[in-house]
Amino acid sequence: MSNNDLETIKQNVPDAWIPSLDSFIVKGSNAEIWDKDNNRYLDYVGGYAVLNTGHLNPRVVKNVEDQLKNYSHSCFAFAPHENAVKVAEQINKRYPIEEHTKTFLVNSGAEAIENATKIARYHTKRKNIIAFKGGFHGRTYLAMGLTGKDNPYKNGFGPFPEFIHHAEYPYAYRDVTDEMAIDSVNNILKNKVDIDDTAAFVVEIQLGEGGYIPSSVDFLEELKSIAIKNDILLIFDEVQTGFGRTGEMFGANTVGVTPDIATAAKGIAGGFPLAAVVGKSEIMDSIHEAGIGSTFGASPISCAAALGVLEVFDKDDLLNHTKKQATTMNESLNLLMNESPFIGDVRGYGTMLGVEIVEDQDSKKPGKEIALKIIDNCKNNGLLLVNCGLEGNVIRFMGPLTTPLDQVEEALDIFNKSVINI
């Protein structure tokens, strides 16, 4: 990025919002982007796991163009439009909650989790919420309170709601077992809250910002069992695990465990702002008239894009292609782990894979600086990646699910060489 461009950014946006990529992007096509200097990159950041169907997917673009010929906005609470109803209908059909469901459409993942929690507390007439360490649920105030990663999201912004409590999240590589996590939940219920005043558990099926750590089926089944036994609602935050990222349509499909309420966002609309809260009808219908709403939620444009995304899944056999990608990625990354002393763990559902970088495999000491060097090497060779995790030492793969297999292999080749050359 030129000094003039950087100075323009610094003069006009807050310092905390200065981007990490040092060039303006000017063009995107599926898994590729080009910057102002015509450098081409494979985009394995994907707008932070948003572009599951790639940059400018033709089906998404066509739906948006068709909608723009008619109107651009209608507040659904006043003037309904069919796009929103069709999206809600499709989510209700596809999300694997056993009972009849209803869907409320909003703008972002944070807004979705705020509403899911709000609905759960209203329906149960209970106060307490139990979330998990390492979880990320957004940057609005309640979502920040639910988030279990302090730096950088919560530092300096407290205090947070006193009714939120954080249990351990299972992390096999760091010796936090399923049993330890469940014991942590039970300890909170026994010693820190009134169990009869606890409304919901809020959990990611696989941590995003917290380090791309998948929870096991056994852990989620036990958590659900505790929830059922104590009339506590189970909320899955599927903002990142939804829409194919785990190899199935939703993370709940992958693990075979279903919640009472779930949130979706990111990959839902091909880069347009849209999010959803889907839940059992008796829960969603318990709110009084106009008790939930959103001016820009259910945007006709975003909903048109979301219908295009669903067409990609249905007509382009996207989930099958995703599984092929996941197989290729796992094979390559696990082979690399055997060759490099800096890779401690490779994990994740579907293509939602995290590579934990360590100073050496024996000590397992987090290697954030090594991770950043690998990411920088990758960028210099045409592959964009970012890190995550409580120690910042996990490299995550968030490329489009529509990435051609030859570009998947190209990305892995760049990554392998970038690790070996450290």
Query: Are residue 300 and residue 351 in the same domain, yes or no?
Result: no
Q: Are residue 266 and residue 360 in the same domain, yes or no?
A: no
Question: What does the pLDDT read at residue 344?
Answer: 98
User: Which residue has 């979706």 as its token pair?
Assistant: 264
pLDDT for 5: 85
What's 104-126 look like in SS3? EEECCHHHHHHHHHHHHHHHHCC
| Domain around 385 | 3-56+317-420
Residues 200 and 223 in one domain: yes
66 and 145 inside one domain:
yes
Block residue for tokens 């899955």: 236
Residue 355: CATH number of its domain: 3.90.1150.10
Residues 229 and 281 in one domain: yes
159: cis peptide before it, omega within 30°?
yes
Q: HSE (CB half, 13 Å, CA atoms) of 277?
A: 27
Shared domain check, 407 and 337 = yes
Interior angle at CA 131, CA 158 and CA 290, nearest 5: 80
Of residues 142, 89, 122, 82, the one with CA closest to residue 282? 122
Residue 213 gets which letter from DSSP? Answer: -
Looking at 249, 282, 315, which one is the last position of a domain? 315
Residues of the chain with pLDDT under 50: none
Q: What is the pLDDT of residue 223?
A: 98
Same domain, 49 and 70: no
Query: Does 213 lie in the same domain as 74?
Result: yes
- From residue 343, how far is each of 190, 237, 290, 354, 373 by CA, in Å? 39, 28, 51, 10, 13
**Whole-model pTM over 0.75:** yes
pLDDT of residue 6: 84
pLDDT of residue 1: 64
> Which of 315, 340, 356 marks a domain boundary?
315
The length of the chain, given as a count of residues: 422
CATH (domain of 185): 3.40.640.10
Task: For residues 311 and 338, state if they share a domain.
Answer: no
How many structural domains comprise the chain?
2
**Are 170 and 214 contained in the same domain?**
yes
Residue type, 339: E
Among 266, 286, 315, the domain-final residue is 315
Position 244 scores a pLDDT of 98
Specify whether 206 is located in the same domain as 78: yes
Q: Are residues 36 and 133 in the same domain?
A: no
